[in-house]
Structure 1
Amino acid sequence: MKVTAEKNDKVAQMTFASIYPHYVRKVEKKGRTKEELHQVISWLTGFDEGQLQDLIQEKATFETFFQKATLHPNAHLIKGVICGYRIEDIEFDLYRNVRYLDKLVDELAKGRAMEKILREEKK
C-alpha cells in the first residue's frame, strides 16, 4: 500500500495522548510494563519521562511530537510491515516515524527481547 498525503495529514493531526493509552493497554495485556514501553519510546524519540508526560498533558499532535523528537540514529533499522505498510517504503517522514513507533510497540507486546527491539549494535 502507498501512503497518501491525506493519510499523512490525518495522522499528523492525531494526538499522541489519544493513542498512548492503547499502547499501554496493548503491552500490559501481553505481560510487558509501562516502564518498558517508556524505554522503547525514549529510545526512538530521545524523550525522558518528564518530556513524555508534558507532551501527553499538552495533547501534542504526532506532528508536534516528532518535530520535538530526536530520532535515534538506528531508527532506520526498523523494518517490516505494520498496518499493511512496508516501513522502509514509506515516503512521508512523519508517517514513517509513527509506524516506527507502532512497530516497536508491536515487538514489545509480542515478547521480543529488549536488545533486539532497541536495535543495539553488536560489539
Structure 2
Amino acid sequence: MSTTTPEHDERVAKLTFASVYPHYITKVEKKGRTKSELHQVIEWLTGFDDNKIEELIKEKVTFKIFFERAKLNPNAELIKGVICGYRIEDIDTKLTREVRYLDKLVDEIAKGRKMDKILRTT
C-alpha cells in the first residue's frame, strides 16, 4: 500500500470545495463537456443534487465536511487509476481517497469518456 503524507492529507481536508469547483468546470468545458455532466458525476458519487452543490459552494465547506455529508456511491470503489501521482486504490486515508475519486471522475469527463463508463454502469 502506498500512502499520502499526513501533511498532504491535511491540505486536502482543508481545501474548500468552492475553491476547486471552478477548476472542475473549466477543465470539463475546455474539453467540450458541460457543467450538467459535471453535476451528474458529482451527484452519482456524493448524492448531492444541483441545489445542494450550490449550497455547499456558498457555505464554503472544506472537503472534509463535503465528504462527511456525502452518501458515497457503493460503486465508488470501482474508481481506480493514478491521479496526482497516487494510485487511488492504494490511498490509505479515506478522505484523500474520496477526493481523488472526484478528481478522477472529472478527468474522465474531460478525456471524453462515455457517461455510462464514468458512472460505472457497464
TM-score, length-scaled by structure 2: 0.97
Give the stretch that moved more between structures: 4-13 or 91-100. Answer: 4-13
Distance in 2 (CA, whole Å) between partners of 1:12 and 1:22 is: 17
Higher mean Cα deviation, 85-94 or 1-10?
Answer: 1-10
C-alpha separation in 2, matches of 1:61 and 1:4: 19
1:85 aligns with 2:86: yes
Match of 2:74 in 1: 73
2:23 aligns to what?
22
Whichever residue aligns with residue 9 of structure 1, its letter is: E
- Distance across 2 between alignment mates of 1:34 and 1:60: 20
Q: Distance in 2 between matches of 1:24 and 1:72?
A: 22
Aligned pairs for 1:1-123 (under 5 A) are 2-120=3-121, 122=122
Check whether the contact 2:3–2:93 (CA below 8 A) recurs between aligned residues: no
Identity of aligned residues (%): 67
Amino acid at match of 2:96: Y
Q: CA deviation at 1:65?
A: 0.2
Q: Which runs of 5+ in 1 are unaligned?
A: none
Q: How many angstroms apart in 2 are the aligned matches of 1:89 and 1:2?
A: 7
User: Which 10-residue stretch deviates more, 3-12 or 31-40?
Assistant: 3-12
| TM score, norm. by length of structure 1 | 0.96
CA contact (8 A) 2:64 2:95 kept: yes
Alignment-mate amino acid for residue 28 of structure 1: E
Given residue 79 of structure 1, which amino acid in structure 2 is its aligned partner? K
Structure 1 residues 47-81: Cα deviation after superposition (integer angstroms, max 9, x where no partner): 01111100000000000000000000000000000
Q: Within 2, Cα distance between the matches of 1:12 and 1:89?
A: 18
1:116 Cα offset (Å): 0.2
Write the distance in 1 (CA, Å) between the matches of 2:3 and 2:74. Answer: 25
The list of structure 1 runs, each at least 4 consecutive aligned residues, that deviate by more than 4 angstroms after superposition, is none
Size of the alignment, in residue pairs?
Answer: 121
Measured in 2, the distance between the counterparts of 1:65 and 1:59 equals 9
* CA distance in structure 2 between the partners assigned to 1:2 and 1:74 by the alignment: 22
